[in-house]
Amino acid sequence: MRRFGKAWAVGALTVWPLSAVSADTPGVGSPDFVFSGFGTVGEVHSSDHSADFANSVLQPNGAGFTRNWSATVDSRIGGQLFARISPELSALVQVIFQQNYDGTFRPHVEWANIRYQITPTLSVRIGRFELPNFLFSDTRNVGFTLPWVRPPPEVYGLIPATASDGVGIAYRMVSSHLTNSTQASLVQETVQQPFGRGTLRARSSYNIANTTEYKSLTVRASYQHVRLTITSLDPFLDNFRMFGAQGVAIANRYDSDDKPASTEVVGASYDPGHLLLNAEWVHVRFDSFLGESAAWYASGGYRVGAVTPYLTYAYSSAKSNSDPGLPLTGLPPAAAGFAAGLNAGLNAILQGIRAQRTVSLGARWNVASNVDLKVQVDHTRVSASSDGNLINRQPGFMPGGRVNVFSATVDFVL
């Protein structure tokens, strides 16, 4: 982090009255700019060469099929400019360089928002910012702040978007031992999907999150409701509409045309010193082909000097990875063949809902106060009816089975 503008000590001696409003405001009327940077350089290897292991469904490729060792799964560089305009008003712009949905490396504006502190306990944010769905949502791009190479995809993969546009209010209450903060946000977002699947649009999205901190314990609970539009499957699903009421019902059930989706998350983190425990549970329900899922993980680490070995178990299950589809009995042979093809296509889509369990073993080594080195091995067992976490599936890819992934990353903050 580099602070520039006015030298702070001069500011402190000249403009700090005894009744200063905030500890962090050396001056009034003279913006104080802080530049901060972060980054991760990583390599990932996956044992399954018929598909790619990626950090998110929004990535176009990864390790496995595209590359034996992939640097694009975790590597990224981010820069942030924070401006303290007045004790109440601040602005933030964060730009990230990483592989985009289309395979390019154009930098994108991850966040850009203005924050106004209405009272010491109440603040409002307008612009593009993160939604605090999970414990580590706020900084999931900043590897240095994460205990692992990446948050467990079983849980975090269910909400792949990392930024939303809108307005949010935050209320923070501090009592003698307890800190409680509540954030409520009204947002929308449009995310580009890889593989020519067009956009993912979330509208009328509201999110409420409550975080309680008691000594070394942090507990977060959040709820989000959105209306989600993904039109890429519409041409396929519309074929079902030729098969009468049953076909129309199937198309309506699985399309994602302004469909409601809800997410509930409960997570806890316990960090008293040497021990580090994290656990989160999530339930998502999409009224579309994305289906209904529940997932959780539990992770424990123990700090031995600068090294923290850790073990994580993550589990995700789909309510259903299949659908009987159209009944074929009574259809003329040609129509039955077409319907059977549609049924197979529908089930291939539902197979994409993640159902798997992963045991991860890794270690974080704090090389310097702002640099860490992490290595992690993931052993994943994918349910027989699911494609699991793998993207960019190639002919010959089979659902189910086991995947081993090895990752090594260096994270830093500036």
Q: Is 148 in the site for another protein (CB under 8 A)?
A: no
107 binds another protein (CB under 8 A): no
Q: Is 180 near another protein (CB under 8 A)? A: no
Of the candidates 130, 60, 152, which has an alpha carbon nearest to the alpha carbon of residue 99? 60
Nearer to another protein, 106 or 177 (CB): 177
- Residue window 195-214: x/- pattern of binding to another protein, with contact defined by CB under 8 A: ------------------x-
167 binds another protein (CB under 8 A): no
By beta-carbon proximity to another protein, the closer residue of 120 and 327 is 120
The piece of 238-246, 259-267, 269-277, 334-342 that touches another protein (CB under 8 A) is: 269-277
Is 23 a residue that touches another protein (CB under 8 A)?
yes
Rounded to the nearest 10 degrees, the angle between the axes of helix 333-350 and helix 244-254 is 20
Smallest distance, another protein to C-beta of residue 228, A: 25
What CA–CA distances, in Å, run from 118 to 89, 124, 140, 171?
Answer: 9, 7, 28, 10
Give 232's Cβ-side CA count (13 Å radius): 14
Q: For the window 295-334, what string marks contact with another protein as x by the rule CB under 8 A?
A: --------x--x----------------------------
DSSP letter at 331 equals: S
In the complex, the smallest distance separating the C-beta of residue 50 from another protein, rounded to whole angstroms, is 37
Stretch that binds another protein, among 5-13, 42-50, 219-227, 342-350 (CB under 8 A): 5-13
Residue (81 or 331) nearer to another protein, CB: 81
Instruction: Say whether residue 84 binds another protein (CB under 8 A).
Output: yes
Q: How many whole angstroms separate alpha carbon 155 and alpha carbon 145?
A: 18
**What is the dihedral sign for C-alpha 236, 241, 242, 246?**
positive
Residues in the chain: 414
Q: Characterize the bridge pairing of strands 89-97 and 256-270.
A: unpaired
Could you tell me the two tokens for 398? Answer: 């089979």
Q: Does 402 bind another protein (CB under 8 A)?
A: no
Instruction: Note whether 309 and 363 are within 8 A (CB).
Output: yes
Task: Write out the H or E segment, with its range, that includes residue 381.
Answer: strand 371-382
- Between 81 and 340, name the residue whose CB sits nearer to another protein: 81
Backbone angles phi, psi at 78, to 5 degrees: -130, 150
Backbone angles phi, psi at 108, to 5 degrees: -130, 155
Answer for which of 129, 134, 243, 289 binds another protein (CB under 8 A) is 129
- Concatenating the DSSP letter of every residue in 352-366 gives TS--EEEEEEEEEEE
Applying CB under 8 A, among 6, 31, 33, 34 the residue interacting with another protein is: 34
* C-alpha span between 172 and 176 (Å, rounded): 13
Say how far apart CA 344 and CA 336 lie, in whole Å: 12
Determine, following the binding rule CB under 8 A, whether residue 100 of this chain makes contact with another protein: no
Can you tell me which of 7, 8, 246, 322 binds another protein, judged by CB under 8 A? 8
Residues that bind another protein (CB under 8 A): 1, 8-9, 12-13, 16, 18-20, 22-24, 26, 34, 36, 38, 78, 80, 82, 84, 90, 92, 94, 111, 113, 115, 120, 129-130, 138-139, 141-142, 144-145, 174, 176-177, 179, 213, 215, 272-274, 303, 306, 366, 368-370, 372, 413
